[in-house]
Every structure is written in structure tokens, then in C-alpha cells.
């Protein structure tokens, strides 16, 4: 263990936050005295109920718990914590008097980290505490590393299983509304978002609502639904002053090209959410957390905005802020979506231009104009002369006449 | 088998004069003997395209038409247009840039028999294989005269509605003058258009041969009249298309 404490980068032993749960006042007071003298913060409990409450709080690094704790002892407390999935959050050391070896052994089997028999020598207690706290810190570091790994794993799974297949699906999508819906629905899935909006930038410098979806209100507007979206487009610049409109989070994201993460729109300052909140009042919905991303094409030009509303906690289903770790994955999705949209828009423009190539001739106008030219004495004479000259040339300057 | 090929367009600015000069240069580059007549008496351009200085112009088409000289005297050889060596020969009959001459041509017109005779003299005395005639845009009487003496009329148009309509009038009028061969050249076509698609549509709309679909090229626009594109950019795809057009029109 001394090896561990000397690992480069490991924190030196620090005072811990400790709990002493012991029914014996003399033993308890002596322990608390020794621990406080060593500089630790100590809380105390006398029986199993309050001890469990304190342990559940997860705020202690280490708990020294009497095996003979009233109302069931440490064994029952350990079983309960294990059932609740809270056993790993605090390091538990079983304390006992001499001759309680069997009970101590059972506690160690049930998840206690170590044991302390009787009242130890303060120096020995100090040394063991350093070891226990070091262990606690390593456990904590391992737990965080595991969480990070899980997140990375999830991100790579999402990239492989959602983002890349979506990119392929989008590039093959020929129906524009289907494409828009796929983008929004997949983004909602990735962000575990209850609601979302897709905006497209228009030629007249606005953000137009193209799809609006809200799962818990069972609402879907625009796209393949054919249902009109009753919200007016957002101006990117003030019509009179020409100033950029940074009031709305969507226009701000479009203007700056940056992702904006708002944990709670009802607490947020700097953006105008009055439009959303007016709708909230009508529907009884509460639009709380927002993740707003610009859709940038291959040249980094913003062609639209993707907005996710109300991230739902995976376990509880409660509305939570959007996870910052989500940004890179959902930004990748936004890039693929933008490229697919851009390709589609380009193709549409091309089709339109090909359509403009339609050669339409006003036959009435043509006939009138031709008559003006040909129904003249001059033209009749010219026709005659042309015939004469051509037949004269037939010998002198041989020409193969073609159908004229 | 000399041929008189006139280039015409319904509107100005379509690129007719430039195409005339470039086609002549391509034909001469292949070793042919080519004549170019600038019959656009109202807005002459050929002398400039071939790099002919004002002082070098002694006689013009105008002089021939008013009986001041023989047509051959008004022809000058431009074998090294702006320093480019050509294998064949180009003889240019320029038009006068003198405003009073321009005014007279507008006012009086000229005799169709004299023009026809002039073209034939030019072909015979200079042993020309091809005579290219640059005409004035629109359908005035002088232009109709040139239609009447042409073996081939190449109508240049841009893909826009006004040109589509105007070209339909030109095609109809040219047919009434029994022009033996009508060909269309679609110029300044946006690069995104599919050339085959444009060709099919134009052929169908006018029921006539299409000699070339020429894509818009920035280099062509930038060069403007300051030189001959095909000589300056011999490897450009547009030059390739023009070479095909020259071959098709003289076939």
C-alpha cells in the first residue's frame, strides 16, 4: 500500500470525512477523539437506522461501524446497502471487541473492507486510516475511469450504430420530408430528447420551422405529416436596422455557428424564450433543457438549426440538462444531416434550372413577326432572287443542297 | 466545294462575331484557306478580333459595295493573328469603322446581286474552301440578303426565353429563303446543364441540326475580344467543342 501512496501523481493522504457508528459510548468517544486528533471530520451515530441514513447520503469516505450495532447489527446494514446498490459508495470497516471473530468474518464476507478489533494504538490507527483512505481514493478513481469508459463506449456505439448508418440513409433518401424527419428523430434518440425542432435557413435570411415534434404531447407538425406549422419564421437580422438577431437561441446558433446548451430555459438569461413559454402555457408543457446546434454544410455555411428540447434521464425519465459528452456525437450527426440537406437542395436547384431550359415558343407571336418580315414586296423579290442565284450557282459553285 | 457559311443571332451579345473569328482560326489552323467577311456593317468587329490595326485597313467591304474597288482588293491576309502562326490562310474582308460609312450602309442598304457576285469572286480568286460571313444581329433587310446567298446559316443563341422566341422567327424566315442548311449553335450554356439534354431539346424545338452546345467559360468571357480564344487556349474543352463544330459545319 505504501507503494500505491508513492505512485507518481497520486494525492498525498488527506483528512477524510468519517462516520463512527457505535452503540458503546466509551468506545465511540475514544475513537472519535483519536480520529479528530488526527485531523479528520467525524460524524457519529448510535443505532442502525440513523447510521443507514447517513451511509446512504454517500458523503463519507469511510465508516467505522460496530458489528453489534443496535437493531440488527452491521450484518443487516450491509445486506440492506448491498440490496440498494450503495455498498461501493462508502468504505466500511467493522469494529468489534475481542472474541467477535465470527461476526467480523461474516461482515467481511458481506462487503466490509476491513476490521478493527478493540481500541487500537493511535499510531497504528493513523497508519491503517491512511491505507483505507488511499484505497477509497483508488476505488473512486477506478469508478470514474469506468464511467468514462462507458461513456466512450456508448459514444462509439452511437457513432457506429446511429450516426454512420443515418448518414448513409440520408444520402440515399430521395424524399425531402422523410429526410428531415429522419434527422430530427435520430437526433432525438441520440439526445434522449422528448421534443425537437428542425429549422432551415431561407433565401430571405430567416429560420423557417420545418419539423416540430413532441413525444409526450404526441405532437408532430411539418414533414410527412402534412400538418402546417403555425409559427412564424425567425428573422436572422432585424428588418430595419440589419442588426443580427441574437435574442433567440436558434438564431444565435445560426449566426455564430456554435452549439448552445441551456440546462433550464426558465432560469436562463440572455435569450428570449417567450415564444416557447407562451406555447408551454397553452399546452401545460414545460420546455426546460435545450440543446441547439447549427447545421453546417461542407463549406461551414449554416443552412439550418437542429434544436432538441428536454433531455430525459435514462433511469428516472425526469427532464435533465443535455449531457455535455453528447455534443461531439450529435454534432457529427448534424454535419451529416447538413451535407445530405445541402446535396438535396443543390439537386433541387439543378432540377429547377433544367426546368427553366424548357423551350417555350409563342407560336402566335412567332407567326405575326414572320408575317411582318415576309409579307412585303421586298421579301418576295428577295425570295425570287435567292432562287435565281442558287440555281445559277448550282453549276458555277457546286453546292450539295440539303433539306432546309 | 467552297461553302458560304453565315453566322447570325437574333440578339446582340450572344457571341456570334467571336465565334466567327474563332471558327475561321480553327479551320485555318488545319491548313484550310478561309475567307472571313465582316458583313456586320453596323457594328464591325472582325478587324479587331484578328488584331488588324486601323491604319492597316486600306479597303473594306463598304468600298466594294459602293463600287470603289473589287472585292479582292478589300481582302487582307491575317495569317498571324496576334502573333499566332496558322498552317492555312485567312483572308479578311473587314467592314469600315468610319461613322459616315456606317450611316450610309444603314441608310441605303445594298444590292443583293453585287454581294453575291462579290462572295463568288472572293472564293474563286483566292481559292477559298470556306467563306465565313459575320452578320448583324436581328432581321433587317441587309441580313436577309445574306441569308439569301448563304449555303449554310448558323444561328447562334443563348439558352434564354427571348433567344428561343427570336430564333424561332429566324429559322422560319431562313426556310422561306430556301437556305440549304440551317444549324444552331447554343452558346454560353451554364456548366451545370447536361449538353446532350440541351441538344435534344433544341433539336426537337426547332427541327434543325445543332452544330454545337458551348458551355460558358470564364476564360472566354475574360478574353472578350482581346484575342482569339482557340489560339490562346488550344487545349481548353471549349476549343475542342468549337473544333467539332467547325468540322461539322464544313462537312
Q: What grid cell was written down for A132?
A: 483505507
Q: Tens of pLDDT along B110-137?
A: 787 898 899 999 999 999 999 999 999 9
| Mean pLDDT across B31-48 | 92
- Give A390's pLDDT tier (boundaries 50, 70, 90): confident
pLDDT > 90? residue A161? no
pLDDT confidence of residue A356: 64
Dihedral sign (CA A73, A75, A79, A84): positive
Note the residue count of chain B: 251
Q: Which A-chain residues 111-150 have CB contacts (< 8 A) with chain B?
A: none
Per-residue pLDDT for A293 more than 90? yes
Neighbours of A283 (CB within 10 A): 13
Grid cell, residue A147, equals: 464511467
pLDDT in tens, A190-202: 899 999 999 999 8
Residue A360 is predicted with a pLDDT of: 86
Enumerate the residues of chain B whose CB falls inside 8 A of the CB of residue A362: 165
| Strand (E) or helix (H) holding A43 | strand A41-45
pLDDT of residue A32: 93
CATH superfamily for domain A17-143: Response regulator (3.40.50.2300)
Nearest CB to A386 within list B177, B182, B192: B177
pLDDT (0 to 100) of residue A145: 92
Long-range contacts of A115-121 (CB under 8 A, 24+ apart): A116/A64, A119/A27, A119/A30, A119/A31
Mean pLDDT of A70-97: 87
Nearest to B165 among A366, A386, A387 (CB): A366
Point out which residues pair with B182 in neighbouring strands. Answer: B153
* pLDDT of amino acid A5: 41
Please answer yes or no on whether B202 and A359 come within 8 Å at the CB atom. yes
Question: Which residue from A minimizes the CA distance to B119?
Answer: A397
Q: What residues form DSSP beta bridges with A211?
A: A198, A222
Does the pLDDT at position A184 exceed 80? yes
Q: Are the CB atoms for B25 and B130 separated by under 8 Å?
A: no
Mean pLDDT in residue range B147-165: 93
Round to whole Å and give the CA distance between B120 and B136. 21
Q: Look at B143 and A350; give whichever has higher pLDDT.
A: B143
Pick the CATH number of A173-347 from 3.30.70.100, 3.30.450.40, 1.10.150.130, 3.30.70.1280: 3.30.450.40
Rounded to whole angstroms, how far apart are CA atoms A399 and B129?
12
Query: pLDDT value at position A131?
Result: 92
- Whether the pLDDT of residue A10 is over 50: the answer is no
pLDDT at A269: 86
Asked if residue A15 lies in contact with residue A35, where contact means CB atoms within 8 angstroms, the answer is no
pLDDT of residue A221: 92
Q: How many other C-beta atoms lie within 10 A of the C-beta of residue A403? A: 9
Residue A3: predicted pLDDT? 42
Q: Which residues contact B63 (CB under 8 A, 6 or more apart)?
A: B69, B73, B74, B96
A301-319 as b/e, with b when 16 or more CB fall inside 10 Å? ebbbbbbbbbbbeeeeeeb
Q: Does residue A12 carry a pLDDT above 60? A: no
- Taking the C-alpha atoms of residue A53 and residue A28, their distance in angstroms, rounded to an integer, is 18
Domain layout of chain A by residue ranges: 17-143, 173-347
- Segment A74-81 shows an average pLDDT of 89
- A281 — contact with chain B (CB < 8 Å)? no
Cβ–Cβ contact A348 with B under 8 A: no
- Confidence band, pLDDT 50/70/90 cuts, at residue B57: low
- Whether A404 shows a pLDDT value over 50: the answer reads no
Q: Give the model's pLDDT for residue A8.
A: 44
Q: What average pLDDT does the segment A296-318 reach? A: 91
Instruction: Give the confidence band of A403 by pLDDT, cuts at 50, 70, 90.
Output: very low
Q: What is the average pLDDT across A141-170?
A: 85
Query: In the prediction, which pLDDT does A236 show?
Result: 94
* SS3 state of residue A306: strand
Query: For residue A2, what pLDDT is reported?
Result: 41
Q: What is the ipTM of this complex?
A: 0.89
Does the pTM of the predicted model rise above 0.80? no
Query: Mean pLDDT throughout A304-322?
Result: 94
Question: Which one of B178, B196, B198, B200 would you mutate to disrupt binding with A, by most A Cβ within 10 Å of its Cβ?
Answer: B178
For B204-246, the pLDDT digits (tens) are 999 999 999 999 888 888 887 778 999 999 999 999 999 999 9
Q: How far apart are CA B28 and CA B22, in angstroms?
A: 10
Which residue carries 488550344 as its cell?
B234
Please check whether residue B7 is in contact with residue B187, taking contact to mean a CB–CB distance below 8 angstroms.
no
**Average pLDDT in chain B:** 90
For chain A, what is the mean pLDDT? 86
Q: Residue B4 has what pLDDT?
A: 96
pLDDT at A1: 38
Amino acid at each position: 500500500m505504501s507503494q500505491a501512496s508513492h505512485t507518481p501523481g497520486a494525492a498525498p493522504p488527506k483528512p477524510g470525512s468519517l462516520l463512527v457508528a457505535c452503540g458503546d459510548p466509551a468506545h465511540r468517544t475514544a475513537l472519535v477523539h483519536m480520529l479528530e486528533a488526527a485531523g479528520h471530520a467525524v460524524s457519529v451515530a448510535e443505532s442502525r437506522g440513523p447510521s443507514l441514513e447517513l451511509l446512504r447520503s454517500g458523503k463519507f469516505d469511510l465508516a467505522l461501524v460496530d458489528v453489534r450495532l443496535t437493531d440488527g447489527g452491521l450484518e443487516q446494514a450491509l445486506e440492506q446497502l448491498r440490496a440498494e446498490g450503495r455498498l461501493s459508495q462508502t468504505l466500511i470497516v467493522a469494529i468489534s471487541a475481542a472474541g467477535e471473530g465470527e461476526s467480523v468474518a461474516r461482515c467481511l464476507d458481506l462487503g466490509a473492507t476491513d476490521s478493527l478489533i478493540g481500541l487500537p494504538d493511535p499510531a497504528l490507527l493513523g497508519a491503517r486510516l491512511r491505507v483505507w483512505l488511499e484505497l477509497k481514493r483508488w476505488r473512486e478513481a477506478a469508478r470514474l475511469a469506468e464511467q468514462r469508459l462507458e461513456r466512450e463506449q456508448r459514444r462509439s456505439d452511437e457513432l457506429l450504430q446511429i450516426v454512420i448508418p443515418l448518414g448513409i440513409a440520408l444520402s440515399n433518401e430521395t424524399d425531402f420530408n422523410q429526410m428531415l424527419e429522419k434527422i430530427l428523430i435520430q437526433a432525438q434518440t441520440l439526445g434522449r430528447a422528448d421534443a425537437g425542432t428542425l429549422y432551415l435557413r431561407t433565401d430571405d435570411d430567416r429560420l423557417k420551422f420545418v419539423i416540430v415534434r413532441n413525444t409526450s404531447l404526441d405532437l408532430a407538425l411539418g414533414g410527412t405529416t402534412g400538418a402546417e406549422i403555425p409559427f412564424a419564421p425567425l428573422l436572422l437580422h432585424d428588418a430595419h436596422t440589419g442588426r443580427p438577431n441574437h435574442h433567440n437561441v436558434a438564431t444565435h446558433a445560426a449566426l455564430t455557428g456554435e452549439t448552445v446548451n441551456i440546462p433550464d430555459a426558465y432560469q436562463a438569461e440572455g435569450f428570449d424564450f417567450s415564444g416557447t413559454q407562451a406555447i408551454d402555457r397553452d399546452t401545460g408543457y414545460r420546455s426546460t433543457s435545450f440543446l441547439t446546434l447549427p447545421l453546417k454544410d461542407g463549406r461551414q455555411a449554416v443552412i439550418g438549426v437542429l434544436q432538441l428540447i428536454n433531455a430525459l434521464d435514462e433511469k428516472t425519465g425526469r427532464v435533465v440538462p443535455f449531457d455535455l459528452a453528447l455534443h461531439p456525437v450529435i454534432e457529427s450527426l448534424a454535419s451529416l444531416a447538413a451535407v445530405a440537406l445541402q446535396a438535396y437542395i443543390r439537386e433541387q436547384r439543378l432540377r429547377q434550372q433544367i426546368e427553366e431550359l424548357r423551350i417555350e415558343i409563342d407560336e402566335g407571336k412567332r407567326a405575326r413577326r414572320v408575317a411582318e418580315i415576309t409579307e412585303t414586296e421586298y421579301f418576295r423579290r428577295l425570295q425570287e432572287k435567292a432562287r435565281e442565284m442558287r440555281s445559277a450557282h448550282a453549276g458555277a459553285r457546286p453546292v450539295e443542297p440539303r433539306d432546309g | 466545294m467552297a461553302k458560304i457559311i453565315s453566322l447570325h443571332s437574333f440578339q446582340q451579345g450572344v457571341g456570334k462575331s467571336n465565334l466567327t473569328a474563332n471558327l475561321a482560326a480553327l479551320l485555318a489552323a488545319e491548313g484550310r484557306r478561309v475567307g472571313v467577311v465582316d458583313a456586320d456593317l453596323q457594328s464591325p468587329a472582325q478587324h479587331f478580333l484578328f488584331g488588324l490595326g486601323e491604319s492597316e485597313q486600306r479597303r473594306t467591304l463598304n468600298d466594294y459595295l459602293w463600287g470603289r474597288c473589287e472585292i479582292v482588293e478589300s481582302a487582307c491576309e491575317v495569317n498571324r493573328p496576334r502573333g499566332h502562326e496558322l498552317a492555312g490562310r485567312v483572308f479578311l474582308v473587314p467592314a469600315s469603322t468610319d461613322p459616315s460609312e456606317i450611316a450610309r450602309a444603314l441608310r441605303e442598304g445594298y444590292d443583293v446581286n453585287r454581294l453575291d457576285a462579290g462572295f463568288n469572286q472572293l472564293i474563286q480568286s483566292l481559292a477559298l474552301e470556306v467563306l465565313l460571313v459575320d452578320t448583324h444581329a436581328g432581321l433587317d433587310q441587309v441580313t436577309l440578303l445574306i441569308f439569301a446567298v448563304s449555303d449554310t446559316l448558323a444561328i447562334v443563341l443563348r439558352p434564354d426565353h427571348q433567344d428561343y422566341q427570336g430564333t424561332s422567327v429566324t429559322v422560319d424566315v431562313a426556310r422561306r429563303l430556301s437556305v440549304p442548311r440551317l444549324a444552331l449553335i447554343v452558346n454560353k450554356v451554364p456548366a451545370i446543364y447536361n449538353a446532350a439534354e440541351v441538344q435534344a431539346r433544341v433539336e426537337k424545338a426547332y427541327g434543325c441540326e445543332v452544330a454545337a452546345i458551348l458551355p460558358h467559360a470564364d476564360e472566354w468571357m475574360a478574353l472578350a475580344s482581346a484575342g482569339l480564344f482557340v489560339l490562346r487556349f488550344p487545349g481548353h474543352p471549349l476549343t475542342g467543342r468549337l473544333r467539332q463544330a467547325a468540322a461539322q459545319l464544313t462537312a
